[in-house]
Structure 1
Amino acid sequence: MLFLTRHRRILHDGVDFQQIDREWHWDNFLILHSWIGALACYVSPALQHLPGWDVRGCLVALLFHVGVSEPVFYWVHRALHRSSYLFTHYHSLHHSSPVPQSFTAGLATPLEHLILGVVMGVPLLGAFLLGTASVGLVYGYILLFDFFRCMGHCNVEVLPRGLFKTLPLLRYLIYTPTYHSIHHTEKNSNFCLFMPLFDLLGETLNEKSWELQEAVVSGRNKDRVPDFVFLAHVVDVISCMHVPFVFRTFSSIPYSVMTCPIILVGWIPAFIVMLMMWAWSKTFLVSFYKLRGRLHQIWVVPRFGFQYFLPFAEDGINRQIEMAILRADKMGVKVVSLAALNKNEALNGGGMLFVKKHPHLKVRVVHGNTLTAAVILHEIPDHVKEVFLTGATSKLGRAIALYLCRKGIRVLMLTPSKERFQIIQEEAPKEYQKHLVHVTKYQAAKNCKTWIVGKWLSLGQQRYAPPGTHFHQFVVPPIIGFRSDCTYGNLAAMKLPEDVQGLGMCEYKLKRGVVHACHAGGVVHALEGWTHHEVGAIDVDRIDVVWKAALKHGLRPVWC
């Protein structure tokens, strides 16, 4: 949970898709040990009649752990590193994860899992042979063993600052996540299982271990300020669990309940959390990545999609967005980009509200709709001479209409308001105003095969489209594809460059490495170093400027 642990992280890099895929089957060792345990219970009926608890067994297991398990693991682990053959074939997999996490503890070859099974089994076997075993010992020792393994790999320093100052001897009896992270970064020291004492005796103790631990706990190892922040929002109750700190694997694939039906079990807990967030809402960090050497972060305003359409919720939502912008400004963030509903025109005028209220903001507020418009416009084939536009008087609809009419394309603008249509028409050069046509019914598009949808369409409304129609869309949520004889475009999105680092989360229903165009628009704004706010109405003259800048930095539309 980065919003809780960001100041105690040891390595500040993000976890990418490659590492998540590599660690997908991190629980293989649990399956292996379950089989071994089940087999042992079947072979030996005596195991089924163990007492619930025996203190003597705990003492025996502790002695065997310190006297046998720890030194055996130390020497075997050290041998795996000292032999290039053994390391390459049996241990390099475990070190292939650049950023250790708790899951990394289970990433190992079958040989390593068997070795760990033996190391874990010796204390239990000793207690059994001496007649002091118990059910509590079996469960307790295995749980503690796995807990300490995961703790050492978690990449967050969890032990308190003054613990080793008060009890100096303790630093040789229990390792820390910082201590073990050094083993993963330097690989030639800190080989112990849980007790640095054996590294001390084997002269493989890294001298920086306690110094780095002190730096992390004291805050001297703080992460640097991001250049860019994308301020997202939750869509619905289930999608709020599509984040790395709930299910890392689930968030690494495009959002769909069908890919993880078990997620439905979490609906009630998620609903309770939603109510708690209503009562006490704060923005929190979900993920981060690096692009062109700059740090980009995704923050979430904990507001659910339907809340944006409740009139009494508007002030509260705007307060949360404003708090996030002011926090970013205080931190030194350069650009904050607003996700779809966070920049709703009816909510805050596409971000204009915050810029007017705080005229001295150093952080640039960006709605990203200029690039969204560019993506939609460049998706339209060159041969198209007429389009049907719904949501025609919205921020995006206005810009699309004005851009297309300059290209000589006839735009059927669906809006019940003649006045709003005329205002937009008057913005177009006089020689192109004739290409903007006011319509009030869907029947007007019965012969038009290119629909640009900015307002949700029902099945009945889609029936007016002729067969072979393609629906381009910028409506949130996207329309449902009712027509099998028509095609449906996705929401405007762009692929990030291949050199992006640390990205391990899919953005809602988009594929890996793809972000919504408004997100990409903020990225381009930051990479270009532009100093203006991009709020309110879209500047039609900048659509091509932003598009070319995006392509220059390696971003590509999803249809490429």
Structure 2
Amino acid sequence: MASKPGILTEWPWTWLGNFKYVVLAPFVGRSIQSLLNREDGSKIDIGYLIIFPFLLFRMLHNQIWISLSRYRTAKGDNRILDKTIEFDQVDRERNCIFQNHTFTVERNVFKNLNLQTWAIPKYRVQDEKLNNNGEVYIRRHPQIKVKLVDGSSLAVAVVLNSIPKGTTQVVLGGHLSKVANAIALALCQGGVKVMALREEEYKKLKSNLTTEAAINLLPSKTYNSKIWLVGDGLNEDEQLKAPKGTLFIPFSQFPPRKTRKDCFYFHTPAMITPKHFENVDSCENWLPRRVMSAWRMAGILHALEDWQEHECGNMMFDIEKVWKASLVHGFQPISVASASESKA
């Protein structure tokens, strides 16, 4: 709908809001009076009686045109304006969850920047087993002219920088992934104790760590830590083992099911986009406004930095380098405090 409709499109009493119905009070009262006084032989004024069905007809007429216009907008592929629409102009969210697709960053993502088109494959946990995070695709198409970026480095950087400062131990649970392994390695190398929630996860993580880092990897026998790093597959029973006030920080692309009302759930790896960010719509409706998933953001960041390497398979970029680059280009971290203000 238009933000400033024409003067003849509104009723004179629109400014009254919900109090506009008071305008009908005299007519309603007069109609009731005429019905009560019919015994004296007076006739009923038909004009009073048709007001109500007339209003119902107008409401139906409006709804038909509104529904039709929204249907055409939803089904159409044309843009009315060649500029972005901010959240303060359109109060809605879009749920567009893509699986196994290539997301193309268009030219002019930022004002006055002409960027090369890059491909950003979105890979799920099962995708690591199917195509090894895109490495199979690279092998089959060695002459590919675009860079494939799975976004793992930036996702890891976001998770590591979401952990409160001074944390000495964390619990790691859920299905393991490329991101989970990199997080565990970085924490263990930094002297943080990582307690694996499941025995099989502990064994897998230990096999991927260096001897020095593996010292800080422990099987979880107690659940005193209030910082839990969680991925897909974390069940309700496992969440119940966490102490009251635990902060669940996902390293997965989808958020965990919130089963604890006495705990806090952080966002999936994501950052706040800069104010000059244009022409890229949000695809995760569980993230706040103007916040973009780290996996999607990574392709844009790599294009801005003009990095020429792929990030797929087992390859990862330097986590600190990627994190600093994101800050330089105006992406902002989401503070744990602000994200934890609302309980699950």
Global fold match (TM > 0.5): yes
What's the CA shift string for 1:286-331, capped at 9, x where partnerless?
99973143468xxxxxxxxxxxxxxxxxxxxxxxxxxxxxxxxxxx
Counterpart mapping for 1:28-177 below 5 A? none
Letter in 2 for 1:435: N
Counterpart mapping for 1:317-466 below 5 A? 334-341=117-124, 344-391=127-174, 393-417=176-200, 420-425=204-209, 428=210, 430-439=211-220, 444-466=221-243
Give 1:383 deviation, angstroms.
Answer: 1.0
Give, in whole Å, the separation in 1 of the partners of 2:263 and 2:88: 34
In the alignment of these two chains, the number of paired residues is 277
Name which of 92, 113, 116 aligns with 1:253. Answer: 92
Letter in 2 for 1:384: T
Contact kept? 2:156, 2:179, Cα under 8 Å: yes
Letter in 1 for 2:327: L
Q: Which runs of 5+ in 2 are unaligned?
A: 15-45, 50-60, 96-100, 339-344
Give 1:482 deviation, angstroms.
Answer: 1.9
Report the 3-state secondary structure (helix = DSSP H, G, I; strand = E; otherwise coil) of the residue aligned with 1:557.
Answer: coil
CA spacing shift, 1:447–1:488, aligned 2, 3 Å: same
Name which of 315, 330, 340 aligns with 1:554. Answer: 330
Contact kept? 1:455, 1:475, Cα under 8 Å: yes
Percent of pairs with identical residues: 29
2:39 alignment partner in structure 1: none
CA spacing shift, 1:292–1:349, aligned 2, 3 Å: farther
Give 1:504 deviation, angstroms.
Answer: 6.0
Whether 2:321 is the aligned partner of 1:542: answer no
Whether 2:290 is the aligned partner of 1:513: answer yes
Letter in 1 for 2:127: N
Name which of 99, 109, 112 aligns with 1:293. Answer: 112
2:27 alignment partner in structure 1: none
CA spacing shift, 1:32–1:506, aligned 2, 3 Å: farther
CA spacing shift, 1:448–1:286, aligned 2, 3 Å: same
Give, in whole Å, the separation in 1 of the partners of 2:230 and 2:262: 17
Letter in 2 for 1:293: N
Letter in 1 for 2:322: V
Report the 3-state secondary structure (helix = DSSP H, G, I; strand = E; otherwise coil) of the residue aligned with 2:181.
Answer: helix
Letter in 1 for 2:330: G
Report the 3-state secondary structure (helix = DSSP H, G, I; strand = E; otherwise coil) of the residue aligned with 1:464.
Answer: coil
Contact kept? 1:449, 1:468, Cα under 8 Å: yes
Give, in whole Å, the separation in 2 of the partners of 1:284 and 1:395: 20
CA spacing shift, 1:26–1:497, aligned 2, 3 Å: same
Give 1:254 deviation, angstroms.
Answer: 3.5
Whether 2:299 is the aligned partner of 1:522: answer yes
Q: Which runs of 5+ in 1 are unaligned?
A: 1-19, 36-41, 46-138, 158-176, 186-243, 257-281, 297-332
Give 1:490 deviation, angstroms.
Answer: 1.1
CA spacing shift, 1:383–1:32, aligned 2, 3 Å: same
CA spacing shift, 1:503–1:434, aligned 2, 3 Å: closer
Name which of 473, 487, 491 aligns with 2:250. Answer: 473
Give, in whole Å, the separation in 2 of the partners of 1:24 and 1:287: 28
CA spacing shift, 1:29–1:519, aligned 2, 3 Å: farther
Contact kept? 2:105, 2:119, Cα under 8 Å: no
2:308 alignment partner in structure 1: 531
Give, in whole Å, the separation in 2 of the partners of 1:403 and 1:253: 38
